[in-house]
Amino acid sequence: MLERLSNKRILLGVTGSIAAYKAGEVVRRLREQGAEVKVIMTHAATEFVTPMTFQALSGNPVYEHLLDTNAEAAMGHIELARWADAILVAPASADFLARLRLGRADDLLMAVCLASDVPLAVAPAMNNKMWSDPATEDNIRVLRSRGVLTFGPDSGEQACGDTGVGRMQAPELLISHLAELFETGALAGLHVLVTAGPTREALDPVRFFSNKSSGKMGFAIARAAIEAGARVTLISGPVSLETPDSVQRRDVVSAQEMYDAVMAKMEDVDIFIGTAAVADYRPDTILAQKIKKTDENLQITLIKNPDILSTVKQRYPACFCVGFAAETQNLEHYARNKLHDKAVDMIAANWVGADTKGGFDSDKNAIRLVWREGEQELPMMSKAKLARELVSHVAQRFYVRHKSALSGDNILHFNQKESTDST
Ligand code: PMT
C-alpha cells in the first residue's frame, strides 16, 4: 500500500502545538516511502521546533513567509499549491482549524490551503477540552462538509497532564491514511485512453479553425486515472499543459491526426474517454499560399471529419466508452441523444457558453453523467476533483457492465476487443 506514496509530492503544514516535534518523524517516514516533502511552518510552530530541523529532514528549504521576494513573481503560495499532490497539516492546532474554517489567507499555510485543489488532510492536536469545545466541534463539522479529511485525534495521556481525546495520531498511522488517497486501485490493471484539448483544422499556411478547449479537463482525467492505478495514454491537441506523471502522451494537431493516433493505440484499451473538443468539420482543401484579401466574399467548403468516439465504439464494442457533450441548451436531452446516437456507455455533459462558469478553459466544471440505466449530477468543483469523481463513477459502471457480460451468454473479457470493422 505504501508504494502509493512513491514520487508523490507532499506538502506538510506544521502549526503551533507541542506535537510539532512529532512532525519530524512524519517527514522522515514520508521520505522513506519515496515521497518528496516540502514543509510550511506557521510562526507559532517555529516556537516549538526550528525550521532547520525540517530543512535537514526534508532536504528542502522550509517555507515560512507569505510575502517571499525570492519566489517566482513573489507568489510562493501559488507555486506551492500547484506543486503539491496532497497537503497534510500535522499537527493542526485549534487555532489553525478555526482559521481554515473562516477561509483566512493571512499566513503562508492558510493561503496555500485556499489556493490548492488537491486533497487536504488535517491531524488535529490539542488539549481534550479544546477538542470537545462546541466551537472546535463546529469547525471540524464544517471543514469535513467541505471535503477536508481529518486523521485522528487519538485518545491518551496529553502533554498538559490531562487524559482524553486530542493527541495527534501516530506518524505511521498518518502516513498510512495519506497513502490511501493515492491510487485507489479502482482501475488497477486497465488501459485507459483519454483524448484532450482542441483540434486545429488548417485553412492556409497561417490560418486554422479551432475552439477554446484548454485541455485542462482531459489532463485532469488522465491524472485521476493514474491515481486509480490505470495505465494511461493521453492523446492531446495543441495545449500548453505539463504531462501528468506516468502518463504516456502523444501530441496531435488536426482531427484526422487525433483519429489516426487513437486508432493506432486502441488494440488493448479497456476504457476510452473522449474529452477532446474535436472539430466536426475541416476545410476541404488546405491552400498552399496565404489567402489574399481580394474578394468581397470568401466561400470555404467544409467537409466532415471522422467521428473518433463513434468509430471507437463501433470497432471495439467491448471497450467502455465515455463521451463528453458540450452544450449551450437542453443539456440532458442532447446528452441522452448522444448516448443513443453514438451508442456509447456513458456521456459526461457539461454546459459551455458565454454565461457558464465551467466548461472551456475554466479551472472548474460541473457535469451531468448519464448512462442507459441512470444519471448522476456532479456539481461545480475544481476540474481535478471532478476528474476523480468521474473516474470513480466510470470504474463502477465499467465493473457493472463487465459483471453482467461475464454472467451472460455473450462473454467478453477485459482487453478482448471484437472488431466489426471489415476494412
Ligand atoms: O479542455 P477544457 O478547456 O478543460 O474544456 C473541457 C471541455 C469543455 C472541452 C470538455 O469538458 C468537453 O465538453 N469536451 C467535449 C467537447 C465536444 O467536442 O463536444 P461535442 O458535443 O461536440 O462532441 C461529443 C463527443 O464526441 C465528445 O466526446 C468528442 O470528443 C467526440 N467527438 C466529436 C467529434 C468528432 N469528430 N470526434 C469525436 O470523437
* pLDDT for residue 143: 93
Of 254, 278, 385, best ligand 1 pocket probe by most atoms within 8 Å of the beta carbon: 278
Tens-digit pLDDT profile for residues 197-221: 999 999 999 999 999 999 999 999 9
Tens-digit pLDDT profile for residues 3-14: 678 788 999 999
Q: What pLDDT band is residue 71 in, cutting at 50, 70 and 90?
A: low
* pLDDT for residue 415: 40
Q: How close is the Cα of 198 to the center of ligand 1, in Å?
A: 8
Q: How close is the Cα of 397 to the center of ligand 1, in Å?
A: 21
Give the integer Cα–Cα distance in Å for 324 and 340.
13
Asked whether 215 and 197 are in contact (CB, 8 A), the reply is yes
Tens-digit pLDDT profile for residues 120-172: 999 999 999 999 999 999 999 999 988 899 999 999 888 888 888 999 999 99
Q: Which of 81, 88, 142 is nearest to 117 (CA)?
A: 81
Angle at 226 between CA 220 and CA 227, to 5 degrees: 90
DSSP 189-254: T-EEEEEESB--EEEETTEEE-----SHHHHHHHHHHHHTT-EEEEEE-S---PPPTT-EEEE--S
Of the chain, the percentage scoring pLDDT greater than 90 comes to 75
Please say if 113 is a catalytic residue. no
Asked whether 365 and 380 are in contact (CB, 8 A), the reply is yes
Q: What pLDDT band is residue 72 in, cutting at 50, 70 and 90?
A: low
Q: Which of 77, 342, 325, 316 is nearest to 217 (CA)?
A: 325
Of 309, 346, 361, 370, best ligand 1 pocket probe by most atoms within 8 Å of the beta carbon: 309
* pLDDT for residue 79: 86
Tens-digit pLDDT profile for residues 245-285: 889 999 999 999 999 999 999 999 999 999 999 999 999 99
Helix/strand/coil for 42? coil
Tens-digit pLDDT profile for residues 161-185: 888 899 999 999 999 999 988 766 7
Residue nearest to atom 37 of ligand 1 (CA): 307
> Which structural domains are found in the chain, ordered by start?
2-181 (3.40.50.1950), 191-405 (3.40.50.10300)
Residue nearest to atom 23 of ligand 1 (CA): 325
Q: Parallel, antiparallel, or unpaired for β 346-351 and 364-371?
A: antiparallel
- The response to whether residue 216 sits with its C-beta less than 6 Å from ligand 1 reads yes
DSSP state of 411: -
* pLDDT for residue 385: 87
* pLDDT for residue 411: 35
* pLDDT for residue 235: 98
Mean pLDDT of 299-316: 97
Asked whether 64 and 41 are in contact (CB, 8 A), the reply is yes
Tens-digit pLDDT profile for residues 319-332: 999 999 999 899 99
Q: How close is the Cα of 121 to the center of ligand 1, in Å?
A: 34
**Grid coordinates standing for 264?**
493506432
Tens-digit pLDDT profile for residues 10-45: 999 999 999 999 999 999 999 999 899 999 999 999
- Considering the chain, what is the average pLDDT of its residues? 90
Residues 6+ apart with CB under 8 A from 280: 304, 305
* pLDDT for residue 412: 39
Tens-digit pLDDT profile for residues 90-118: 999 999 999 999 999 999 999 999 999 88
Q: How close is the Cα of 327 to the center of ligand 1, in Å?
A: 10
- The response to whether residue 324 sits with its C-beta less than 6 Å from ligand 1 reads yes
Give the integer Cα–Cα distance in Å for 4 and 180.
8
**Grid coordinates standing for 308?**
473518433
* pLDDT for residue 118: 87
